[in-house]
Amino acid sequence: MQGHPITILLAEDNAAHARLVMRSFRDHAVENQVIQVDNGESALDYLFQRGEYSEIDTQPDLVLLDLRLPKYDGLQVLAEIKKDKALNSIPVVILTTSDAESDINMAYEHHANSYLVKPIDFVEFSKMLKDLGFYWLVWNKSK
């Protein structure tokens, strides 16, 4: 993929899943900087530029958010993002293993931009991430 380098905030506590996401983006030539945090508190600290992230001066172009995070779960992080005027236009894609209808409904009630269930198969997972990268980072027009 071509275009300006983008910043992705990946909130994922499973190190193996995080490596798969980063590998897939790299394999599909997504020009990016992936910032990976492993809990909801760190995700919020990054977004609100506090604590160890107080020197950050830009926001991510995309947030990939797992639902099952320690400290603050993904739905709590999503709610904080979407209620903040400075952050609510950042696309948030839920990327999780849960296909529970209640989780899907709650994510969309909290204004998730998309909800993706992680496939078990690596090839399918990689293809899904490739398509996700093309959609959110190339094809989709944002303000």
Helical ranges in the chain per DSSP H: 15-27, 40-47, 74-83, 101-109, 122-134
Nearest to 77 by CA among 99, 46, 101, 54: 46
* Whether the Cβ atoms of residue 104 and residue 74 lie closer than 8 Å to each other: no
pLDDT tens figures, 111-142 = 999 898 988 887 887 787 777 766 666 565 55
pLDDT tens figures, 18-63 = 888 887 777 666 667 888 999 999 999 999 999 999 998 888 988 9
Domains of the chain: 6-139 (3.40.50.2300)
- What pLDDT is stored for residue 1 in this prediction? 41
* Whether the Cβ atoms of residue 137 and residue 62 lie closer than 8 Å to each other: yes
Nearest to 34 by CA among 106, 24, 141: 24
